[in-house]
Structure 1
Amino acid sequence: MWDVQVRHGDDYARAAAEDHVRQVVVPQVRGEILDDRGRPLVRNRTVLAVTVDHVALTRRHDGGRAVLKRLAAVLGVPAARLAELVRLCTAGVRPPCWPGSPYQPIPVARDVSTRAALQIAERPELFPGVSAEPVPVREHPNGELAAHTLGYVAPSGEGDPASGIGLAGREGLEAWYDADLRGRPGRREVVVDTTGQVVRTVSETAPGAGHDLVTSIDAKVQGVVEQALRRAIEGAREQRLPADSGAAVVMDVRDGRVVALASYPGYDPNVWAEGISSREYRELRGRLQPKAIQGQWAPGSTWKVTSAAAAVRAGYGLNRIYGCPGSFQVGARAFRNFRGIGLGSMPLSRALTASCDTIFYRFAYEMWLKDGGTKPVERPKDPMQKMAAAFGFGKRSGIDLPGEAAGRLPSRSWKRAFWKQTKAQACSTAKLAKSSYVRAIARETCRDGYKWWAGDAANFSIGQGDVLVTPLQLARAYAALANGGKLYTPRVGKAVVRADGSVVRRIKPKVAGRLPVPAHVLAYIRAALAEVPRSGTAAGAFAGFPLDRLPVAGKTGTAEAYGKKDTSWFASFAPAGKPRYAVVAVVSQGGTGAGTAAPAVREIWSGMYGLEGKKAALGDKAALGGKAALGGKTALGGRTGPGGKPAPGGASAEAAP
Structure 2
Amino acid sequence: MPEIRDLLDDRLKMLLGGIFLSLLILLGGLYFFQIFHGDKYVRLAYNNRLRLIRFSAPRGEIFDRHGVPLAVNETTFSIMGYPLDLNTTEKLERLSGILTRHGIPMTVEALERTIHQQRWAPYRVIRLVPNLTMPQMAALVADPEFPRELFPLSVWRRTYPAGALAANILGYVGEISEEELKASSGGEYSGGDLIGKSGIERSYEAELRGLAGEEALEVDARGRRVRTLDSRVAIKGEDLRLTLDMGVQKLAVELLAGHKGALVAMDVKTGAILALASSPTYDNNPLAWGVSGREWRDITRDPAKPMLDRSIAGVYPPASTFKALVALAALEENVATTSTSFFCGGALRLPSRTFRCWRRSGHGTVNVLSALQHSCDVYFYQVGLKLGIDRLLKWCREFRLGEPTGIDLPGESSGTIAGPEWKKRRFKENWYQGDTINYSIGQGYLLLTPLQVARIYAAVANGGKLVSPFLCDRAYREPVDMGIGRESLSIVQKGLDYVVRKGTGARAGKFGVTVAGKTGTAQNAHGDDHALFAGYAPADDPKYVAVVVIEAGKHGSSVASPIVGELLAHILSHPAGEGENQGD
- Normalising by structure 1, we get a TM-score of 0.77
**1:174 corresponds to which residue?**
201
**2:293 corresponds to which residue?**
278
- Structure 2 unaligned spans of 5+: 1-28
Q: Map of 1:505-524 to 2, 5 A cutoff?
A: 506-511=474-479, 513-524=480-491
SS in 2 for 1:251: strand
Match of 1:307 among 300, 316, 326: 326
1:575 aligns with 2:583: no
SS in 2 for 1:14: helix
**1:586 corresponds to which residue?**
549
Which amino acid in the other structure matches residue 390 of structure 1? Answer: E
Provide closer, same or farther for how the CA distance between residues 101 and 350 of structure 1 changes in structure 2, counting only shifts above 3 A.
farther
1:87 aligns with 2:110: no
Distance 1:293 1:389 in 2: 18
- 1:470 Cα offset (Å): 0.7
1:555 aligns with 2:518: yes
Tell me the matched-pair count. Answer: 540
**2:79 corresponds to which residue?**
51
Distance 1:490 1:154 in 2: 27
- Normalising by structure 2, we get a TM-score of 0.86
Distance 1:293 1:99 in 2: 36
**1:10 corresponds to which residue?**
39
1:352 aligns with 2:340: no
Distance 1:107 1:536 in 2: 64
Distance 2:246 2:111 in 1: 34
- 1:137 Cα offset (Å): 1.7
**1:105 corresponds to which residue?**
126
SS in 1 for 2:216: strand
Match of 2:426 among 404, 418, 421: 418
Provide closer, same or farther for how the CA distance between residues 544 and 400 of structure 1 changes in structure 2, counting only shifts above 3 A.
closer
- 1:193 Cα offset (Å): 5.4
Q: Map of 1:69-468 to 2, 5 A cutoff?
A: 69-74=97-102, 76-80=103-107, 84=110, 87-88=113-114, 105-106=126-127, 108-114=129-135, 116-123=136-143, 126-127=146-147, 130-156=150-176, 157-158=180-181, 160-161=184-185, 163-165=188-190, 166-192=193-219, 198-230=225-257, 234=258, 243=259, 245-285=260-300, 286-315=305-334, 316-338=336-358, 340-368=360-388, 382-419=390-427, 449-468=428-447
* Contact 2:81–2:128 (CA under 8 A) maintained in structure 1: no
- Per-residue CA deviations over 1:87-114 (Å, capped at 9, x if unaligned) read 3499xxxxxxx78979563363525243
* Contact 1:56–1:129 (CA under 8 A) maintained in structure 2: no
Provide closer, same or farther for how the CA distance between residues 133 and 314 of structure 1 changes in structure 2, counting only shifts above 3 A.
same
Distance 2:516 2:51 in 1: 65
**2:501 corresponds to which residue?**
534
Which amino acid in the other structure matches residue 620 of structure 1? Answer: A
* Contact 2:522–2:530 (CA under 8 A) maintained in structure 1: yes
- 1:507 Cα offset (Å): 4.7
Distance 1:460 1:470 in 2: 16
- Per-residue CA deviations over 1:201-231 (Å, capped at 9, x if unaligned) read 321111111111111111111111111121x
Which amino acid in the other structure matches residue 508 of structure 1? Answer: Y
The structure with the larger Rg is 2
Q: CA RMSD in A?
A: 2.6
SS in 1 for 2:165: coil
**1:481 corresponds to which residue?**
460
SS in 1 for 2:559: helix
Q: Map of 1:633-648 to 2, 5 A cutoff?
A: none
Distance 1:173 1:574 in 2: 28
- Per-residue CA deviations over 1:140-169 (Å, capped at 9, x if unaligned) read 122222111111112335463363233221
* Contact 2:83–2:115 (CA under 8 A) maintained in structure 1: no
More helix by share: 2
- Structure 1 unaligned spans of 5+: 91-97, 235-242, 369-380, 420-448, 495-505, 611-617, 632-657
Higher RCO (CA-CA < 8 Å; seq separation 6+): 1
Q: How high is the sequence identity, in percent, across the aligned residues?
A: 33
* Contact 2:158–2:288 (CA under 8 A) maintained in structure 1: yes
Match of 2:579 among 611, 616, 627: 627
Distance 1:249 1:39 in 2: 20
Distance 2:433 2:115 in 1: 54
Which amino acid in the other structure matches residue 361 of structure 1? Answer: Y
SS in 2 for 1:64: helix
**2:55 corresponds to which residue?**
26
SS in 2 for 1:569: strand
